[in-house]
Structure 1
Amino acid sequence: MHSLPPLTALSAFFVACHAGSYTAAAKELYITHGAVSRHIQVVEKWFGVNLFIKQGQRRVPTPYALTLARELGGALDTLSDIALRYGNGGRNNVFNVSVPTTLSLKWLLPRLDDFYGRYPQANLQISSANTEQLHIIGHYDLLIRREPSMTEYSAIPFLQDTHCLMASPDLLARYSIKTVEDIVACPRIETLTRPGHWNQWLEAAGVKKTPVNGSRRYDHFHVSLHAMLEGIGIGLGPVNTLSAEIVRGNLVPLFPDIRIAPCHYHALTPVGVQKTLLHQAFEDWLVTQGCA
């Protein structure tokens, strides 16, 4: 084992850096100003540098200390996560799941009452991930992703989906859409992170006409979805993911036989991780919900 400064002293140093002073750190940690000072002295002695300088009546972190605190933060987060998941012999029953934003909001959350009804003692911690964050692994017990591209994870497929054209009742009240050619007169919603979907659909539908109305472009699909629900335009959406909105009548599939961009969602678990009973139950529940 490498020699390490005491964890209590490191924690006090980290808080003092973020709080900006010994006094603020003492209030946050519920200890005395002197105790914070002694912890900082331990860390300074271990690293061999002065980490705080006097500024007026208080001591503030040096640029070196702030850089050290940033790197230390990741290590402390990892320790905190391990302690949370493995503390008390794992009896805390916390299960951390990372889910793409739209799937979390529109597919997973509407169904979670069913899971809690079956496992009332479960404590799920759901973190949503947008397109730029999908590659971030983090410290999760399970990740839900479209494709099992990460080889260090075991994958369980649970949901297949395809995209079709959709519109809100409000938009359909303003535009008459009887044939696929009528689409060219409607405002179209596009998502920058899902390029090519509209061209795929127009080709599959055999539409040769040039669209008359312009495009409304958004960066992420959950923003595009909100625009669709508000009746701003017609868009392409995943049918199974948005099934709750379709059942409620908030979205109406148009020409549902024309489907594009098939995708598969998988439950990913780090290879070698010993799955808990809650972990296995959640995976089984995902598969059951996906089949339904």
Structure 2
Amino acid sequence: MEKLPPLNAVRAFEVAARAGSFTLAATELGVSSAAVSQQIRNLESWFGKQLFVRNGNRITLTDAGHAIYPQTARALGDIAAVGRRMLEGGVRPRLVVSVPFSLAELWLAPRLAELLDGFPQMAIDIRVEDDPVDVVRQNIDLRISYGDYHYPALRMVRLVHDEVLPVASPGFLKRHGNQGSILADMHESQFIHTNWGPNYASHPSWADWFAVAGGTRAPDPSHGRRVGLSSLAISAARLGLGVALGQTTMAATDLEAGRLIALSAISVRLGQPYCAFMLPAKAERADIAGLVALLAATPKTARGTR
């Protein structure tokens, strides 16, 4: 067998690199900060490379540290997965899926229903949470995120690069519609705006949509309806509260059923794709691979464009 680096030191390195602090790593590992620091020095001595730059209580990875971190995290994740499989024995597997709030109901839930057609006895645990999450420590089988940059140590599959287009309910159009001129003439209070929060800057706004459509209008969010989730914007439009920029992956079912109508065929792409992340050791598991395939499938979208 090839010579292995000291495994306790490798574990200390992985936790410290992920946490960005020897103190936080010590808390997670249940040891002292001095012990973590000593383990890191042992590993640096073994490699003959400096892995961290120390600046008081702050640490950053060196180029050598960046080079070994992804493989280290994957290897420890694979070992953890083996341990769980052995300990669980014949226990029925549970699929643990972690998803952002906006995707849970309108996008993930319908596809889970399809997955259960093939795995009717499967136990499923859906966790709705924002990035970042600790996939290894929280025993998450599949993490779905907006963007492909959150988890560089995990296997990543791009699922869909979504787009938005204006949607409204038939009832709203009956009360306010004027064929194709509704968006140009509509009062600003009738626009539904999605507030993505301070962490996101790549989601298109109504001003972006009008610019792509060849117009100059920029509806003021302070004069319209504002919601904090893209899925809530679609629900508000379905209830007749106004016109929303609906994501096509989430609005597909309502568009196909006629509960929403697309007011234009013009759409604007989101800045980042939705991606699935998983430990490499779990990527070939039938239930996980099946769900990833369903999530990556192009939805059937009957837009009903006016």
TM-score range, shorter chain: 0.5 to 0.7
- Please state whether the residue corresponding to 1:232 is helix, strand or coil: coil
Identity %: 21
Alignment of 1:150-165 (within 5 A): 150-165=151-166
Amino acid at match of 1:204: V
- Which residue of structure 2 aligns with residue 231 of structure 1? 240
The 1:185/1:274 distance shift into structure 2, 3 A limit, reads closer
Question: Which of 182, 190, 194 matches 2:193?
Answer: 190
Cα separation, 2, equivalents of 1:199 and 1:147: 23
Instruction: Report the Cα offset of residue 101 of structure 1.
Output: 2.6
Instruction: Report the Cα offset of residue 166 of structure 1.
Output: 0.8
Alignment of 1:1-292 (within 5 A): 87-89=87-89, 91-129=91-129, 133-138=130-135, 139=138, 140-149=140-149, 150-180=151-181, 182-186=183-187, 187-193=190-196, 196-209=204-217, 214-261=223-270, 263-271=272-280, 275-287=284-296, 289-290=297-298
Cα separation, 2, equivalents of 1:286 and 1:152: 21
Q: CA RMSD in A?
A: 3.2
Q: Deviations over 1:139-174 (max 9, x none)?
A: 211101121112112111222321111111121111
Instruction: Report the Cα offset of residue 253 of structure 1.
Output: 1.0
The 1:224/1:137 distance shift into structure 2, 3 A limit, reads farther
Instruction: Report the Cα offset of residue 111 of structure 1.
Output: 2.9
Aligned residues: 210
Cα separation, 1, equivalents of 2:164 and 2:98: 23
Cα separation, 1, equivalents of 2:127 and 2:82: 17
Amino acid at match of 1:119: F
Cα separation, 1, equivalents of 2:235 and 2:193: 12
Q: Which runs of 5+ in 2 are unaligned?
A: 1-6, 9-80, 301-306
Q: Contact conserved, 1:170 with 1:231, CA < 8 A, in 2?
A: yes
Instruction: Report the Cα offset of residue 229 of structure 1.
Output: 1.6
Instruction: Report the Cα offset of residue 82 of structure 1.
Output: 10
Cα separation, 1, equivalents of 2:117 and 2:282: 27
Q: Contact conserved, 2:161 with 2:273, CA < 8 A, in 1?
A: yes
Q: Deviations over 1:192-233 (max 9, x none)?
A: 117651110011112235659931112222332322121111
Q: Contact conserved, 1:143 with 1:267, CA < 8 A, in 2?
A: yes
Q: Which runs of 5+ in 1 are unaligned?
A: 3-80
- Please state whether the residue corresponding to 1:247 is helix, strand or coil: helix
The 1:209/1:110 distance shift into structure 2, 3 A limit, reads closer
Cα separation, 2, equivalents of 1:124 and 1:110: 14
Q: Contact conserved, 1:162 with 1:262, CA < 8 A, in 2?
A: no
Cα separation, 2, equivalents of 1:283 and 1:105: 17
Q: Contact conserved, 1:107 with 1:244, CA < 8 A, in 2?
A: no
TM-score, normalising length: structure 1: 0.61
Q: Deviations over 1:81-118 (max 9, x none)?
A: 99987643263211100122332211221232321111
Cα separation, 2, equivalents of 1:127 and 1:92: 19
